[in-house]
Amino acid sequence: MNRIRRLAATVAVGAVTIASLVAGGGAAAAAPTRWGPPELGPRVCSVLKYIKIPQQLIGLPTGGAAVESATWNAGGYCSVVGWIWPKNAGAPGMQFQVNLPKDWNGRALQFGGGGYDGSLVTGLGQYSAQPVGEPAPIDQGYVTLGSDGGHQGGPGFDGTFGLNDEALLNYGQQSVKKAHDAAMVLIAAAYWKKPSYFYFAGGSQGGHEALDAAARYPKDYDGVIANYPAYNVTMMHEGAVNFRDALYGNGGAGWLSPAKTKLITDTVYATCDGLDGADDQVISNVSGCNDAFDVTVLRCPSGADEGDSCLSDAQLASAVKIATDYDLGFEIAGNSVFAKSALFEGALYQGFAGFGTDPVPSNPIDGSEALQYIILDQTSKYIVTRDPSLDTMAFDPADWADRIQEVGKIMDVTDVSLEPFRARGGKILLTHGTADDFITPHNTIQYYERQVAAFGEEKLDSFLRFYEVPGWGHGQGPFNAKYDGLGTLTAWVEDDVAPTGLVAFDANEGANRSRPMCEYPSWPQYTGSGSIADAASFQCVTG
């Protein structure tokens, strides 16, 4: 027992000494010279559970943190689970996990969450869009970490956490930094030095968190991967009134059933699939598709609903409204436009991201509603109005413009400058799929074009690359893209090798095909020779 206590004391001294130096920007190797870090293994792992993290080592307001458990795994790493305590009474704690490999490569990778967060991201699996069969980052020697985003939520899209100010701040932006800083203390305890490089990777809300990491905490991160990012949560959720009004206005006359939706998308693919030279159930030439597709060919002759083989006038109007930009009438984080859906460009809107199974929504929601209505409902009830009894069908965002703009300062990173991140040498891989039926690709195009306006294309290319991937949905889709994001990012950050020749692989079962990843606005066109399953048979073109 005395030996364990001595070991615990040694680890604790290392943690506090190095973490204090890290927080103050001191040298990574400035530990007391007569001590060295104990070799990381089962014994050192077991004593990490005694570590308590003072609040001054976390760069945002908290009540400090403490380790709950530390477990040595057969794979050769220590998994540490802990809690960051809230600053304010009544706020939830934030759970985090840090995984410390024995054979550390000197790098750390933080994983992002999803949806409203609310469940612990362990950091033990593959990162967002990592190629199938590639070793997980922890098995490559990365320290990995994640958190629950600052609260513990129920299943699905549970917005109740938004009733608490501190929980909302954590979800909107602060959980990223708090988990990072707690991890730095544990890294110091385990290795007595800080990482040479610190990265972030995520998709959807995790992509939002990746852009938060870059824009809000540029001193903490060297590179980020932001796949189909929900970077403007407030705009996305409140702008979804466009879906509400289209689908459920006029008593649900415009509601698009799964069969009606499939009629639209089947017609889109029949019209547009071959415009890139390959009939492969992937629409790559989106611009050409917009020119070629005419939804009015689906009109029922009478204009009334005549069944699943055509669209009524109300359903046609609904589809067109969804596929058109919607101006909310006031700005949220510098933008007033809710970007149009890709319904006429290859997005499928079936399954979890579909338009629901009932033409009239319930209050409270029961899961039969369109996904876009669900997020509008939860954010409007629990974050904007904080009125759980709110009738979302009668809700008018204009009546709550001031509060919505206040929330936008918390949850949206739209107008937060990337200049400090660029100036430090940070790099960003930004991606989105053309067939995303939850977060429209046009939302990320808005973000990218905003950056072009801020930096100019040449300067922007020096630290950010944007890839729009045909057929990729929201982590699924006709072309379920996987690519070597982490290898590409580390080469760019550490060796100044800019991305070139990236290839995406389709992870759908039995697909066995690849495509070149083209920098926006270019897209992959079939050359006319070679297999359409091979990326080498395509070239990136513009126009």
Indicate which residues carry an active-site annotation. Answer: 204, 436, 474
Residues 70 and 79: beta-carbon distance below 8 Å: yes
CA distance 400 to 4: 58
Tokens of 326: 């919607």
Residues 387 and 381: beta-carbon distance below 8 Å: yes
Contacts made by residues 89-93, CB under 8 angstroms, sequence distance 24+: 90/164, 91/164, 91/165, 91/166, 91/167, 92/150, 92/151, 92/152, 92/161, 92/164, 92/166, 92/167
Which ranges of 217-276 does DSSP label H, i.e. alpha helix?
A: 233-238, 241-252, 258-272
How many angstroms separate the most distant Cα atoms in the chain?
88
Tokens of 219: 């001193």
Chain-centroid distance of CA 425 in Å reads: 22
Residues 357 and 255: beta-carbon distance below 8 Å: no
CA distance 204 to 443: 12
Closest CA to 229 of 379, 412, 351: 412
Residues 146 and 97: beta-carbon distance below 8 Å: yes
Half-sphere exposure of 348 (CA within 13 A, CB side): 16
Three-state DSSP at 185 gives helix
Q: Output Rg (C-alpha) for the chain, integer angstroms.
A: 24
CA distance 393 to 359: 13
| Cβ-based burial of 358 (10 A; exposed 0-12, middle 13-18, buried ≥19) | middle
CA distance 149 to 95: 8
